[in-house]
Amino acid sequence: MTKYLIRGGKELRGEVEISGAKNAAVAIIPATLLVSGTCRIENLPQISDVFMLLNILRLMGADVRTVNAHTVDIDCSRVTRTVADFDLMQRIRASYYLIGALLGRFGAATVAMPGGCNFGGVRPIDQHIKGFTAMGSQIGVRGGLVDARAKRGRLHGSVIYLDVVSVGATINLMLAAVLAEGRTVIENAAREPHIVDLANFLNSMGADVRGAGTNVIKIRGVSQLRGGFYSIIPDQIEAGTYLAAVAAAGGEVLIRNVIPKHLDCISGKLREMGVEVADGEDSVLVRRDGPLTRTNVKTMPYPGFPTDMQPQIAAVLAVAQGTSVITEGVWDNRYKYVGELTRMGASIQVDGRIAVIEGVRGLSGAKVNACDLRAGAAMVIAGLCAEGVTEIGHVGYIERGYEDIIGKLRNLGADIRAVEVPDDQEEEILEVI
Ligand code: EPU
């Protein structure tokens, strides 16, 4: 088992380069199924969710060639399988995008119910199913599998109103609609940057998608998409995580390869807390040398404060002066990590979707676990500012979404390393460092 060891208390200084956006990549890779020809995808993050999706495509018969560390050529022309690998699919939430893509291309899909981070109990897909049904498909869920068929062989356009603002449903319905017959309108659509990125990818391959980035997306089905080049946008949440890390640990870092506009909601909150954040053209400079002050945070769909930054901001607020309140506005239960932060000395009370954080003077290193991807990032941030050594287990979650987090933080002067621990020696690790 791999663990991360962090000796906290070092300020972060230097420059860090942000990778391509995970949540755009995990939508664009399945989208290549819709394309006749080769798609060259650039700025792909090197993270396990991406590797897994590429493997799923390979197993379905796609020709996936690595051009360099961050670029692949994907040609799905010869794919004929409409059934995706069950074991791989179960491990990744975004696997459900294969339903929309396969339905759009073949009018049929058999896909495992999605896995991924489990922080909200059952993560429903009723809005996806409602949309596919409105577009003329029949959906059955049996034995952990979703089986979808277009009744007339090809989907048709429809007007779909989403009852909740869902990133996943918006993306899945876009994928299903681009090759459907006629016009699809998605109302109350999500507006996240990765939705705009997917629309840009699809349009650059010949699709007709309008309105992405607003809450009404209109898609006119076309008969074919052709291959081309596309470069994925920088990861808003990875950038936000480094902003939060500098806020917690102190120091000064230039965060490069970002779209500062995507970070407004995060930068604004950090400024309220006494952190300096200066936007450049495609970078932000973050500096913190004074005390952190309390604030309140409510997570919301974009352009609100992202739920995927909620655990990381909680780790920063844990060491801010005063009492802060976080209201989780997207997921029912995204506070599983609070127990872990409490073991490091944080003072946090959770009631339903609300967490009240009494800032403490400092955290102390402890043995903790990453309970999901962003919770894991929060443990790293807490470890960076804690006194002593923090040992983080279950780091596979972190590696699902953060490219080379160890290398990037070490470059900034953090004392962090990954160690391989045989399962039977787990207990001894804190003594040997
Ligand atoms: N929801 C429904 N019915 C549905 C779909 C969603 O009720 O059919 C509810 C969910 O239960 C939740 C809310 O709607 O309360 C929002 O869910 P959404 O569908 O937007 O989430 P998602 O598509 O499953 C993506 C990201 C998550 C991120 C959420 C919210 C990907 C692969 N995942 O999930 O990212 O938290 O949007 O922004 O894009 C992460 O990167 O760490 C991560 C978990």
Q: What are the tens digits of pLDDT across the range 263-291?
A: 999 999 999 999 999 999 999 999 999 99
Nearest atom (ligand 1) to Cα of 192: 38
Task: Please indicate whether residue 398, judged by its CB atom, sits closer than 6 Å to ligand 1.
Answer: no
Mean of the per-residue pLDDT values for the chain? Answer: 94
pTM across the whole model: 0.95
395 alpha carbon to ligand 1 midpoint, in Å? 22
> What distance in angstroms lies between residue 192's CA and the mean position of ligand 1's atoms?
11
Contact 357, 346 (CB under 8 A): yes
Give the pLDDT of residue 80: 87
* Confidence (pLDDT) at 429: 42
Cβ(183) to ligand 1 under 6 A?
no
Inform me whether the pLDDT recorded for 432 exceeds 50.
no
The residue contributing the CA closest to ligand 1 atom 43 is 308
Average pLDDT over residues 171-190: 98
H-state helical runs in 285-346: 310-317, 338-343
CA gap 392, 50 in Å, rounded: 23
Is 230:42 a contact under the CB 8 Å cutoff?
yes
Per-residue pLDDT band for 222 (boundaries 50, 70, 90) equals very high
SS (H, E, C) 380-422: HHHHHHCECEEEEECCHHHHCCCCCHHHHHHHCCCEEEEEECC
308 pocket-lining for ligand 1 (C-beta < 6 Å): yes
Q: How far is the CA of 144 from the centre of ligand 1 (A)?
A: 19
Q: Is the pLDDT of residue 212 over 60?
A: yes
Q: Say how far apart CA 62 and CA 50 lie, in whole Å.
A: 15
Q: What confidence tens digit (pLDDT) does each residue in 351-384 have?
A: 999 999 999 999 999 999 999 999 999 999 999 9
Q: Round to whole Å and give the CA distance between 178 and 154.
A: 12
Q: How confident is the model at residue 117 (pLDDT cuts 50, 70, 90)?
A: low
* Residue 401 Cα to ligand 1 middle (Å): 15
- Please tell me if the CB atom of residue 373 comes closer than 6 angstroms to any atom of ligand 1: yes
Which atom of ligand 1 lies closest to the CA of 127?
Answer: 8
What ligand 1 atom has the least distance to the C-alpha of 129? 8
Q: Give me the numbers of helices (H) and strands (E) for the chain, helices first please.
A: 15, 23
Is residue 64 within 8 Å of 74, Cβ to Cβ? Answer: yes
* Cβ burial 155-173 (10 Å sphere, 16+ → b, else e): bbbbebebeebbbbbbbbb
Q: Given the CA of residue 301, which atom of ligand 1 is nearest to it?
A: 38
Q: Is 373 within 8 Å of 362 (Cβ atoms)?
A: no
Atom of ligand 1 nearest to the CA of 126: 8
* CA–CA separation, 218 and 183 (whole Å): 7
Alpha helices for 107-234 (secondary structure H): 126-134, 167-177, 193-204
Is residue 44 within 8 Å of residue 232, measured between CB atoms?
yes
3-state DSSP assignment of residue 59: helix
For 227-259, the pLDDT digits (tens) are 999 999 999 999 999 999 999 999 999 999 999
Assess whether the C-beta atom of 274 lies below 6 angstroms from ligand 1. no
Q: Are 274 and 231 in contact (CB under 8 A)?
A: no
3-state secondary structure 65-123: EEEECCEEEEECCCCCCCECCHHHHHCCHHHHHHHHHHHHHHCEEEEECCCCCCCCCCC
> Which of 167, 196, 266, 309 to mutate to test ligand 1, by most ligand atoms within 8 A of the CB atom?
167
**Exposure of 200 by Cβ count < 10 A (0-12 exposed, 13-18 middle, 19+ buried)?**
buried
Mutate to test the pocket of ligand 1, among 166, 170, 310, 335 (most ligand atoms within 8 A of CB): 166
Which helix or strand (DSSP H or E) is residue 260 part of?
none
Cβ of 126 less than 6 Å from ligand 1: yes
120 Cβ inside 6 Å of ligand 1: yes
Q: Is the pLDDT of residue 343 over 70?
A: yes
Cα(250) to ligand 1 centroid in Å equals 32
Distance CA 149, CA 408 (A): 45
What is the per-residue pLDDT across 294-335, written as a single tens digit (0 to 9) for each? 999 999 999 999 999 999 999 999 999 999 999 999 999 899
409 in contact with ligand 1, CB cutoff 6 A: no
Ligand 1 site, residue 333, Cβ cutoff 6 A: no
- Contact between 302 and 193 under an 8 Å Cβ cutoff? The reply is yes
